[in-house]
Amino acid sequence: MAPSKKQDDDLKKNVEMTEHKEDLGEMEKRLGTNYETGLTTKQVADLQAKWGENKLTPPPETHICIKFILELTDFFSLLLWGGGVLCFVGYGLEGAKDNLYLGIVLFFVVLATGIFSFVQNQKSDSLMKSFANMLPPKVLVMRDGKTGNEDAIKLVPGDIVLVNAGDLIPADMRILECSDNLTVDQASLTGENEAQKRRKECTHDDPLETQNLCFFGTQVPEGSCKGVVISIGDHTVMGRIAKLAMGTDKGQTPINKEIENFIHIISAIAIFLGISFLIINAVGGVPWITNLVFMIGIIVANVPEGLITTVTVCLTLTANRMHSKMVLVKNLEGVETLGSTSCICSDKTGTLTQNIMTVAQIVYGGKNGFSIEDCESSFSKAGATYDVENASFKALARCATLCNVSVFDENSKFETDNAGEFVLKNGEKVPVDFFRMREQGDGSVIREVAWKPVGNASEAAMIKFVHPISNVEAARAVAPPEAVIPFNSKNKYQVHVHVDPAYNDASTTASTPPEEIIAKNKGNRMVYMKGAPERILARCDKMMVDGKVVKMTAEDSKKIDALNMSLAENGLRVLAFCQATLDTRKFPPGYKYTADPDGYCSPNFPIGDFDMKYDAREKKHPNSDEGMVYLGMMALIDPPRPAVPPAVSKCKTAGIKVIMVTGDHPVTAQAIAYKVGILWSKTVGDMEKENDRDGLSPGDEGWQDPEQAQAIVVPGHTISVDMPEEKWDAILAHPQIVFARTSPQQKLVIVENCQRQGHIVAVTGDGVNDSPALKQADIGVAMGIMGSEVSKNAADMILLDDNFASIVAGVEEGRLIFDNLKKSICYTLTSNIPEISPFISQVLFQIPLPLSTILILGIDLGTDMVPAISMAYETAEADIMKRPPRNAKVDRLVTKKLINLAYLQIGIMQAMAGFYVYMVVLNDYGYPPHVLMGLGGNDYWGKQPTFCRFMGGQYVNVAGESNPTAATVGTAAPNVGVLTSGPDMDYPLWDRGDGGYVIDCEFPVMNFNGKGGSLANNAERMDSSKVNDHTAGESTYTYESVKALEARHYYEYVPWRARMSPFWDADWLYYDITEEEAPGGQFGDSVDSMFFSYQPIGMWSICMADSDLSSGKKGAGNRPAQEAKDQINAFDPSTVGCDSSTSMDADSQVWMFSEATFCNGDGRTTGCDSGQNLDGNWHMPNWCTQCGYLNKGTCSSTVDVNTMVPCANVASRMIQKEAQHHAQGAYFISIIVVQWADLLICKTRWLSLRSQGMKNSVMNFGLFFETLLGAWLCYQPGIQMGLGTRNIRFTHWLPGIPWSCLIFSYDEVRKYLMRTTSPESVDKASGQVIRLKGWLERNTYY
């Protein structure tokens, strides 16, 4: 649970404690403990019940089931769930299997995409138990007067704990006793890489600065101590920081915001159009189930169902690519966020630097006197300039070797396996080279020491520097120490007395025991001293120059001091070295060297005390006065990583502000900042110092105005959480910023203020001190090698090689993924227009639906998926790191310009291509474009026969032979005028002949709606007396409505061109109604509502049942086309048996009738074979022994219902249905063809395809994949059943190609004109490319 605002503000304040200032006696009473015996067992039990376990509360985790449910219930998914439910409802009410298939597909889509996203996100989750590793499993505790090992988790306040070198501090402790050399490594807490001295006295009011406290999770590299536990678990300083990290509101990532914004836009469009057309269709009288399914089609056409999967795959692929660059992405969206970054707040230690103390420069007396010489390091960016053969250098190196207790870990000198066991070769351990080369994520290689040093970081740096020059271990082996004075904060020096190996016995080797060497060496001894430069220099009266000892003058001392200051100003930690030779005449063999001889306060050997002042009560030993010989200095620093300066430079070019935020000293931080390029001009402090040094005031010549400084170094003590925003704004207005000596709480506030200014902030860090800021940042980047587990848990990504330069690679990848997501979305959205326009056209123009809902899903989740995903593999365009950071308020993932290009430009051209192909196919199968309007309304297409007027042409049989006895037409010659007679069963097909054409077409008016209920089986459906006026509540056409059409010369249309199609089936002329037509079709076991909503197998006559037309109900349930209304209005019912002066319409509204007589030629209904002669009509079924065109000889006008069955002529509607399936399949293929061009133009947003090239092998595969998949969906028989596709002709693939070429050419010209009208210039100050946007770029660059 996140903390309240008050709690959050409290957490952001610096640590407030008083235990470090509390009297130890008072503390002992308050805690109820005993410093000598510890707590009692009963006290421990009581305190454990009160305080709980000594562990940090782990971060909360969302249950895996909740995560899965969330993946299935995003807004797109909810739309599709709702659509699927409506499809199942429609299937339940009407039995249309198309609705069943669509519902199943929609449900499958949601489940498949949800499962995929869930699996990908689960893979990316870092399931680290972040805090367990901070707690040592066992700790030495004193209880009941006895000391023993206890589980650290069971510690309680008041426990007395003993800690030794190498141990982790198990809880916050107040030191009771400690060794002089006790140090604590607080890098994980404060960011300082130097171990901090500890003592039992309070030395500072700030608990983080005082030396008498040790904090949970820190480490003891040297020394030992006894302490009392003052806080455990969440109550420790570390626990407080961890709580702050967990309680920080992370907020949405930019890519999440963009995707949500995109979903809202697309969903709003989908819902608006869906509801709009729902209302339009409802007003038009479309059945509500049909209307709802139509609305589903509108929504499905608008919603890019594969988008979320595409985004997830793109992010995952990018994350995998980044992993190869040593960047582990925990949060997939974090990749893109890094690309949006406008500000990087970076820790120094271990991030910009190597977190390895290194000797950067040295000073010794060479041939030309004392001078600064460079060592090989990334700090100096130069090779070594010192002379390894110079005697003075050798003396300095020898002193650094012997006055030093740091050693190399023996285990690190040999190869080990993954289990930590030594690798053996021929029974011997395999040695490891001193140096090794390590490749970093950016491809650069750094040289590092493979042997692990143990001990103080500064001393470790010295032996790593000396060892390649002179074997440290060999030098120490032959020169053992006789006395050691450890370093302490009071004296600030360290002293060793060693034998001089020049006087060793001839038999001495490296394996000779130290005691034996000392006993046999009868020569001089050497005193070696190192320490603070000012302390060492003050103890020297001589110096070594070019191997010779000479007297040190005041001028020499001043010069050496100046060199020291020069090193210190560069942020280097400087140690000076000196030595003295102990003559055997004064210090004979066997002399007992001691630091505090009886009665004296100084050692009994020379340490340069000649000018030292002691307390009057203390007596100095006379031997300590002898002056020392000054050898030189070593300057140490944690050097910057070699790859960091160019990485920072690249950030500046890309317009990204890099801010250093560190717990280190301001001088050191400033020096590193200059080295890596975060600072490059004078700071405010530098200007103030120079003004003071030169005595300048405002108005004086040469005075520098600090307010005009571009750089600033801000110490942590000058800022606070309560500081007004105006002051923060003034600080953050500087382009070059370093924050030094910052606390974890201050780092968090710095990040918040950067975000307040509108920055997308990335924070890098490795310590626990960084974790709150890592959590608060838009993107948190932790260090994989040196990083604490807490920081890794708080971060979104982890640099496995701890290399800041990898962040720049991440920025480029982030920008690339945003670019590629834009391209992928643009590619995906363009097909929305050709997907939705068929539905809009069907409503507006009443044409047969050009594209089905399931085929839309075939595009979105099939053919478009791989090409859309292939965008993730697209390489960056040349200018990607020259652009300024993305402005999240303006440069959205989906912009108006992208919508404009995708929908109103490319999308419209694609839709035009689709409609063109659709009309070509229907025209090829007998339905020219001009007759289509009006035929797609009311769901008649493919269900009812079409009636058309023909100008010329002729009726032909299945073989294409015309009727030789055909009468002339109208008053014109045959084949020229309007046909005035209809087809018959021998010549059922119309052929255009020479110049004939279809004038227009209509469906018969549905003007009869009979009784509801159901018929038991097909036998009853074939019995006219059973059917009678039964229509299962469905409206159907009648004999009268057909006659009304024929009176206007509209005749049933069976196109000859369809006869020449691949789908023609002559059996349609004699179809067995007991056979299942197709899934969702009329015949077979279809439900009554489905059976009677199709072409009737017979004919209803209204006039036979209701001659005075009294059952008419004006306009009820019928919305015929206007042309059909005119036909009914002009029709005289008396010509077909109704009473004279009757009418089937009134006020231009067609009447719906509820009484009619059904005839189908079975002879069971009286009157069907007389008067109107329905039984002999072309529209009636043929009664045959066996149905089928080849069995038409078994048909007879004499019907025996026991041996014969009705064979329906369904050719007209089946041709409609099949022609539409072919046209829809061709429309589907045309989208694939134009998507070829769309994919190519979406490869780039700025460059020409010629510049970008076709190197994306995945995209090249995607082009083949979508083509092959489209072909498979069209030509695979099993798939055709569900998708409604057919084996379309090869020639119907071709009409879309010219449109594809048009789209490609259009966009290439657009980009060319955009580039030529947007000139570029380079800002000389920053190197950033500035582009003056032309009209085309402002309006079309998405």
Helix H, strand E, coil C: the string for 82-112 is HHHHHHHHHHHHHCCHHHHHHHHHHHHHHHH
- Residue 1295: what pLDDT? 96
- Residue 792: what pLDDT? 73
Distance CA 1050, CA 798 (A): 76
Q: Are 638 and 663 in contact (CB under 8 A)?
A: no
- Compute how many other C-beta atoms are within 10 angstroms of the C-beta atom of residue 1255: 10
| Residue 544 DSSP symbol | E
**Alpha helices, H only, 2-141:** 5-12, 24-31, 41-51, 64-72, 75-94, 97-124
| Residue 1121 DSSP symbol | -
Q: Among 1083, 1336, 1025, 1081, which residue's Cα sits nearest to residue 1207?
A: 1083
- Residue 467: what pLDDT? 94
At a CB cut-off of 8 Å and minimum separation 6, what does 243 contact? 3, 11, 57, 234
> How does DSSP assign 791-822, residue by residue?
HHHH-SEEETT--THHHHHHHHHHHHHHHHHH
- Residue 970: what pLDDT? 37
424-425 and 428-429 beta bridge pairing: antiparallel
Which segments in the chain show pLDDT lower than 50?
1-12, 124, 126-136, 968-975, 1116-1118, 1325-1326
- Residue 9: what pLDDT? 47
pTM, two decimal places? 0.71
| Residue 39 DSSP symbol | B
Phi then psi dihedrals of residue 641, to 5 deg: -65, 140
CB-based burial of residue 1318 (10 Å sphere; 0-12 exposed, 13-18 middle, 19+ buried)? middle
Residue with tokens 């063999």: 589
Tokens matching residue 701: 């010549």
Is residue 167 among the annotated active site residues?
A: no
Q: Are 177 and 200 in contact (CB under 8 A)?
A: yes
- Residue 1166: what pLDDT? 82
- Residue 969: what pLDDT? 42
Residue with tokens 């500072």: 204
Distance CA 1048, CA 1127 (A): 7
Q: Among 1241, 1260, 1234, 1252, which residue's Cα sits nearest to residue 1309?
A: 1241
Torsion of CA 317, 320, 322, 326, to 10 degrees: 180
At a CB cut-off of 8 Å and minimum separation 6, what does 1021 contact? 1015, 1027, 1073, 1091, 1097
| Residue 905 DSSP symbol | I
Catalytic annotation, pick one of 98, 159, 347, 991: 347
b/e string for 703-722 if b means 16 or more Cβ within 10 A? Answer: ebebeebebbbbebeebeee
- Residue 966: what pLDDT? 64
| Residue 847 half-sphere exposure toward CB, CA atoms < 13 A | 24
In sequence order, the β-bridge partners of residue 1331 are 1320
